A and B are shown apart, each in its own frame.
Chain A
């Protein structure tokens, strides 16, 4: 429990606000209250002030960051979702969702014999619920023949 960690966050906030401020200034417009530049600039100024305020008045609290195996698991799930969103259109929903579901279940240490069956059932039922019953299109991809 220390004050230092809050100051570190405040620094990160300050950098973020500065980036926002600079990109607002770089917008190609006159500096006029009714223009698209003025409002974001004001916002960024307040954000800069808030980050400085946190540096002056930090709060005490502890942060426990995940480590080791748990961090790896988080990384794996995030990567899996990223890959899913990249291949969804070409591969199609049924296959990519089954794989993603399988990975998630594995990460949550599901019983191995259930993983394949459950993930296939889930993705097929999602496809039916969303695409067929609700009419919200999901990409068919490789399974175009359906």
Chain B
């Protein structure tokens, strides 16, 4: 195996591929920083370059990998600094990242994000190398029923996202689930239109990016204006500290490791992806920190956990793509299409037929992560200074970037109006104490929960026992109940002792 990996390194370390990783990471980071534009668009945009230069497929995949990591890191930059997540998984990074930036600790937050992404990514590559063939079996064994139970399990993570009232957090999440039911239902004969109120555009459903940008970016704009004071000495946050101390890294290390494992396992399952991974990881770390943590008010561990999970799930999602030919996320779906266009058919035979491809990619992932941290750590100092830009230009710029970003995804004016509506919704929710992250989770999981619930019941002709038949489902139920009950039991024991 090591021989194969070494061979992989010789593929990855060829001059052309190194250059491609650099360019991919850099362009990805820049494009990822634009609100709403994530890895999917970045890859689609840069695909013609691959065709133009007639790159060999392995180089193309290496290039895409670079773009993928880069744009994910770019996303966390805009989440931390501007509170505008470009993807649903980055919405978790906002929770602690943005408060840190507002306290003048943008530097450490960005650096932590880079370090966590790097460690999460690198560690999960080891897991990819050792476990890929076995883990692909896991993806096969996951049927609709198992997916449904996994989603329920992910929902227990919500307990970590309430700001005071758990009921409000739950309602946010269910609102997200409800919004996800809008549109044409693919599972009914002829495609029933639900909750579209006669509006043609609603037939396609509500794109979660539109909601995310609405509630975060437009909501933030309104929030800022609502406390706007007209004095000229508009508060500019001083940069207290730019670098990360060794102590801070040490404190987060265990969390990064745990999140990396969670992220990787979730990433392997096609469809579950980075969002669930970051929510689960954040929740776990918050629970473990207990009352000592400053989670939600700016804790570096709250940045480290989702970023590590995020990146390792990105690595994990390469397993179903390369070993099964099944895209695990929208991003890998675009990669799959690109690969097929280049004449490569990923599938179970790829490990045997085209080992260069698989091992080359694994090796280039190491390289990609390394390049990312080399490129970005020195940039932290510069990036953090974005916050020193005067508000009268920074806020309008963020608003414009978001508005343009929302429009270009689908080229739809209607999306802009939706964004506006969700901006108002997000503003009201923040003012009234409803957390936004559960809304995002609900929205992302919504479609998956419903289709898998109905697929499973279609298989079983309405028999609910399908949800607890397989060992995987039973295991997931155990985890679900344990994560709900264990904290309660601990609290009970503590009370008894006092």
Seen from chain A, the residues whose Cβ lies within 8 Å of a Cβ on chain B are: 5-6, 9, 13, 16, 20, 23, 27-29, 32-36, 39-40, 43-44, 46-47, 50-51, 53-54, 57, 59, 61, 63-66, 69-71, 73-74, 77-78, 81-82, 84-86, 88-89, 97, 100-101, 104-105, 107-111, 114, 118-119, 122-123, 126, 130, 134-138
Q: Judge whether A136 and B174 touch: CB under 8 Å.
A: no
Q: How far is the CB of A19 from chain B (nearest CB, A)?
A: 10
Q: In the complex, which residues of chain A have a beta carbon less than 8 angstroms from the beta carbon of B253? A: none
Cα(A5)–Cα(B434), bound, Å: 13
What are 10 A-B pairs with beta-carbon distances under 8 A?
Answer: A39-B181, A39-B450, A40-B194, A50-B170, A77-B221, A101-B400, A104-B396, A105-B392, A130-B404, A138-B404
Q: Judge whether B45 and A134 touch: CB under 8 Å.
A: yes
Seen from chain B, the residues whose Cβ lies within 8 Å of a Cβ on chain A are: 31, 37, 41, 45, 48, 164-165, 167-168, 170-171, 174-175, 177-178, 181, 185, 187-188, 192, 194-195, 218, 221-222, 225-228, 230, 391-393, 395-397, 399-401, 403-404, 407-408, 411, 413, 416-417, 420, 423-424, 431-433, 450, 453-454, 457-458, 462
Known: A34-B454, A47-B175. A74 touches B195 (CB 8 A): no
Q: In the complex, which residues of chain A have a beta carbon less than 8 angstroms from the beta carbon of B450? A: 39
Cα(A71)–Cα(B433), bound, Å: 20
Q: How far is the CB of A84 from chain B (nearest CB, A)?
A: 7
Q: In the complex, which residues of chain A have a beta carbon less than 8 angstroms from the beta carbon of B168? A: 54, 59
Contact of A63 among B174, B417, B432 (CB under 8 A): B432
Q: In the complex, which residues of chain B have a beta carbon less than 8 angstroms from the beta carbon of A135? A: 45, 48
Q: In the complex, which residues of chain B have a beta carbon less than 8 angstroms from the beta carbon of A84? A: 403, 416
Q: How far is the CB of A36 from chain B (nearest CB, A)?
A: 4
Q: Judge whether B395 and A104 touch: CB under 8 Å.
A: yes
Known: A59-B433, A63-B432. A107 touches B225 (CB 8 A): yes
Q: How far is the CB of A32 from chain B (nearest CB, A)?
A: 7
Cα(A97)–Cα(B402), bound, Å: 12
Dominant secondary structure at the A interface: helix
Q: In the complex, which residues of chain B have a beta carbon less than 8 angstroms from the beta carbon of A119? A: 396
Q: Judge whether B424 and A78 touch: CB under 8 Å.
A: yes
Q: In the complex, which residues of chain A have a beta carbon less than 8 angstroms from the beta carbon of B177? A: 43
Q: How far is the CB of A16 from chain B (nearest CB, A)?
A: 8
Cα(A139)–Cα(B279), bound, Å: 37
Q: Judge whether B400 and A97 touch: CB under 8 Å.
A: yes
Q: How far is the CB of A29 from chain B (nearest CB, A)?
A: 7
Contact of A33 among B188, B403, B457 (CB under 8 A): B457
Cα(A105)–Cα(B399), bound, Å: 10
Q: Judge whether B171 and A40 touch: CB under 8 Å.
A: no
Q: In the complex, which residues of chain B have a beta carbon less than 8 angstroms from the beta carbon of A5? A: 432
Q: How far is the CB of B420 from chain A (nearest CB, A)?
A: 5
Specify which of A29, A88, A107, A136 lies most central, judged by the most chain B CB atoms within 10 Å of its CB.
A136
Contact of A137 among B48, B400, B408, B458 (CB under 8 A): B408
List the B residue with the shortest CB-CB distance to A76: B225
Q: In the complex, which residues of chain A have a beta carbon less than 8 angstroms from the beta carbon of B194? A: 27, 36, 40
Contact of A73 among B174, B228, B408 (CB under 8 A): B228
Q: Judge whether B31 and A81 touch: CB under 8 Å.
A: no
Q: Judge whether A28 and B228 touch: CB under 8 Å.
A: no
Q: How far is the CB of B412 from chain A (nearest CB, A)?
A: 9
Known: A54-B165, A78-B424. A88 touches B413 (CB 8 A): yes
Q: Judge whether A137 and B411 touch: CB under 8 Å.
A: yes
Specify which of A44, A71, A101, A119 lies most central, judged by the most chain B CB atoms within 10 Å of its CB.
A101
Cα(A51)–Cα(B194), bound, Å: 23
Q: In the complex, which residues of chain A have a beta carbon less than 8 angstroms from the beta carbon of B432? A: 5, 9, 63
Q: Judge whether A70 and B420 touch: CB under 8 Å.
A: no
Q: In the complex, which residues of chain B have a beta carbon less than 8 angstroms from the beta carbon of A59? A: 164-165, 168, 433
Q: In the complex, which residues of chain A have a beta carbon less than 8 angstroms from the beta carbon of B403? A: 81, 84, 100
Q: Judge whether B396 and A105 touch: CB under 8 Å.
A: yes
Contact of A108 among B192, B395, B408 (CB under 8 A): B395
Cα(A111)–Cα(B392), bound, Å: 8
Q: How far is the CB of A66 from chain B (nearest CB, A)?
A: 3
Q: How far is the CB of A101 from chain B (nearest CB, A)?
A: 5
Q: Judge whether B392 and A108 touch: CB under 8 Å.
A: yes
Cα(A101)–Cα(B230), bound, Å: 19
Cα(A16)–Cα(B432), bound, Å: 16
List the B residue with the shortest CB-CB distance to A85: B416
Given A34-B187, A36-B185, 18 more A-B residue pairs with CB atoms under 8 Å apart are: A16-B175, A27-B192, A27-B194, A36-B192, A39-B181, A40-B195, A43-B177, A47-B178, A59-B164, A66-B225, A70-B228, A84-B403, A88-B407, A89-B413, A104-B395, A108-B395, A134-B41, A138-B408
Q: In the complex, which residues of chain A have a beta carbon less than 8 angstroms from the beta carbon of B187? A: 34, 36
Q: In the complex, which residues of chain B have a beta carbon less than 8 angstroms from the beta carbon of A130? A: 404, 408
List the B residue with the shortest CB-CB distance to A134: B45
Q: In the complex, which residues of chain B have a beta carbon less than 8 angstroms from the beta carbon of A40? A: 178, 181, 194-195
Q: Judge whether B225 and A74 touch: CB under 8 Å.
A: yes
Q: How far is the CB of A64 from chain B (nearest CB, A)?
A: 8
Q: Judge whether B188 and A35 touch: CB under 8 Å.
A: yes
Q: In the complex, which residues of chain A have a beta carbon less than 8 angstroms from the beta carbon of B453? A: 39
List the B residue with the shortest CB-CB distance to A50: B171
Q: Judge whether B174 and A47 touch: CB under 8 Å.
A: yes
Those 9 A-B pairs whose CB atoms lie nearest each other, nearest first: A66-B226, A85-B416, A104-B396, A110-B392, A136-B408, A108-B392, A59-B165, A36-B185, A36-B188
Known: A20-B178, A61-B433. A34 touches B404 (CB 8 A): no
Q: In the complex, which residues of chain B have a beta carbon less than 8 angstroms from the beta carbon of A44? A: 178
List the A residue with the shortest CB-CB distance to B431: A63
Q: In the complex, which residues of chain B have a beta carbon less than 8 angstroms from the beta carbon of A89? A: 413
Q: How far is the CB of A119 from chain B (nearest CB, A)?
A: 8
Q: How far is the CB of A24 from chain B (nearest CB, A)?
A: 8
